[in-house]
Structure 1
């Protein structure tokens, strides 16, 4: 256990706000989870390296082509029977240097494509950040409200277990009917089954949160919502057109489509430039093979664009430009649809939440205590008791789910527009 504690402390040393409630339980707020996520998430780290990789490609595109060197030496002079002769009168050496010069501004066009590739890698990184951050926050809320629901089941099961124990004793004495005791045990079993299903959900949420935070699977997270009453965003002040504009500015997946369209246009420009042949400059030194010794010459070489004018690649690039623009237009419509749907969900859940009487659960809680006391005194029958008991559980769980649905819808709207609209 000490080793687990030391490991957990080591994982969270960069975040002093995270505290340990027990040796393997972590209490953390949403802000602390966000900080831990940005610092330790492995997917983010891997994708960030992709940006650095594309910057390296961008640097490579800036470099000039290397010159080429050609050296020729006579290996054997048959007249003098010398191997590798070096004397001027009986040997021959040729030295050539070539340099390729890209014409039609090909180098700058390739550099522009590389820079757009870096932008695309950056878009992928920030879109992954948006997606994982959404998963983190929704999982955080799911786990928090699931733990709140679990406390309701624990309370009800504990109370009902005591009641069953008392009535088992009364049944053994012959004071109550078997059917009443059986009803109580059946309802207790039903509560235990529902609790077990909730525990499975909690296990999944815990595992997902551990992966997102790159934490040990042995750590149990206990989310803490600070100042829940302050989480009352002014949903009525949101404007759908403003949300569209925010999505245009902040959705990096949409920006990736636009950057892809830009890169396709750059590729079309490059393919047209590739139809222009490049120029090759050459300098030659020939020691004895020419009509004069120590010959020095310069030359220029260029391919003649007679048959291959890069027609196929230009045509394909033009098609890709059209395709990428259509894909961008289609995805823009999809983004607007996402924003509109998320906005409608926020309005619906927020309206339902604000119309709910939040004193209802407290009043119901006090009522059920009285009902339990009266049932143990046998002032009410088992049917009425279980009806109140089930109504209390349902109201608590439904109100808990209502709060979770509200927070989930707010996060879905944040996800749709690509930025946080509300106070954390």
Structure 2
């Protein structure tokens, strides 16, 4: 058989094989990926968010911290318990009897001897002075506010992690599908080339060149598979899912292209960011702690009543008691100085935190503007023309009007264009979530 005849048959075979395996990328969705495990769970983002709120360990643990702070407020408002003291006769050596509390005889009374019946009772109550109890309650309420703000900050951070991980998984699965389709095409092309090689229809280097291209695709696909494994691990921790569960994202919200005004974003961040609230509440907490330490300079007053039977200046003695430490040496100086230093520290920390928040918002805003510019700079019909690169390259190569290297170069251009589009959409979504995170406001 002549060489032109071999080339003609080979071209027809390639054309038939390519027509049978070609499918447009535009019809692909993550739900179609055939590389996921059998126990796959299809989940939308709202479904995952609900599970996250119910199951996430860090959120549950921080909720308990709020409950603990509530209990501390109750404890701070309780008054000191009264103290009851009793003293009585255990053994009377005159009568050689134990626990003798009967009334003495008239003869003993006349003789001034009391061999039985002695006991004394004392009831005392500590009274907190200088408003210590109300200051303790105020400090406990501030601690509860700190716990609630910490809960909101954890919620904000974990929400951002959940949303971005879900989006990364969604778009990484699209990339894997892109590579899988290209691998299937090039592997079939490689098999056709190997058949043609045995008949002398192609050069050996062309088969090797195709094998190298397939290896490149497999390496790139493996990299994305490892990223997907990391994303699955992150979602399992966030949702406390069983290890065998593979979470398959179904869809993302429609892409929004409206950008809030920068002044609005900055104001929202200063108003809604829980870390700003934490810094402000830390100042309030330090002020209340300082007020409590100053109040502790005033000693507490202990009052009581005392009753003694047969043992004092006269029978059935009733007395009044009052005691207080003298604030001569210890006036709580060290604790007050420590509280004053803490107040100075947290006051300067608020200004620093406000600067950090402003920088975070500006950074997210600039990134989002960059990606919007990139999206808006695409010419009309750009995505359709990307798809046509693959279609036209396949037709030209099957018609043998271009060589293998030229064909692989066009396919590589098509793949890179598709990757750039997927990465742009992923970056846009994640940067929108970053702006939501930095402002703690749902703009998108």
- TM-score, normalisation: structure 2: 0.87
Aligned to 1:370: 392
Contact 1:278 1:302 in 2 (8 A): yes
Structure 2 residue corresponding to 1:343, chosen from 358, 365, 368: 365
Contact 1:96 1:282 in 2 (8 A): yes
Structure 2 residue corresponding to 1:233, chosen from 249, 257, 262: 257
Instruction: Flag the 1:62–1:45 CA change in 2: closer, same or farther, 3 A.
Output: same
For the aligned residue pairs, the C-alpha RMSD in angstroms reads 1.5
Structure 1 residue corresponding to 2:63, chosen from 42, 45, 48: 48
Kindly state the Cα deviation for residue 143 of structure 1 after the two structures are TM-superposed: 0.4
Kindly state the Cα deviation for residue 227 of structure 1 after the two structures are TM-superposed: 5.7
Aligned to 1:333: 355
Instruction: Flag the 1:316–1:338 CA change in 2: closer, same or farther, 3 A.
Output: same
Pick which of 381-390 and 90-99 moved more: 90-99
Contact 2:276 2:354 in 1 (8 A): yes
Aligned to 2:335: 313
Kindly state the Cα deviation for residue 358 of structure 1 after the two structures are TM-superposed: 6.5
Aligned to 1:152: 178
Query: Any unmatched runs of 5+ in structure 2?
Result: 1-35, 105-114
Contact 2:386 2:418 in 1 (8 A): no
Q: For the residues of structure 2 that align with 1:78 and 1:317, how far apart are their CA atoms? A: 58
Kindly state the Cα deviation for residue 370 of structure 1 after the two structures are TM-superposed: 2.8
Contact 1:88 1:287 in 2 (8 A): no
Kindly state the Cα deviation for residue 84 of structure 1 after the two structures are TM-superposed: 1.7
Q: For the residues of structure 2 that align with 1:30 and 1:188, how far apart are their CA atoms? A: 34
Aligned to 2:53: 38
Kindly state the Cα deviation for residue 226 of structure 1 after the two structures are TM-superposed: 4.9
Q: For the residues of structure 1 that align with 2:222 and 2:423, how far apart are their CA atoms? A: 17
- TM-score, normalisation: structure 1: 0.91
Structure 2 residue corresponding to 1:219, chosen from 239, 245, 250: 245
Q: For the residues of structure 2 that align with 1:54 and 1:151, how far apart are their CA atoms? A: 50
Aligned to 2:169: 143
Pick which of 212-221 and 281-290 moved more: 212-221
Aligned to 2:86: 71
Q: Greater Rg, structure 1 or structure 2?
A: 2
Kindly state the Cα deviation for residue 419 of structure 1 after the two structures are TM-superposed: 1.8
Aligned to 2:216: 190
Q: For the residues of structure 1 that align with 2:79 and 2:92, how far apart are their CA atoms? A: 40
- How many residues get paired? 398
Query: Any unmatched runs of 5+ in structure 1?
Result: 1-20
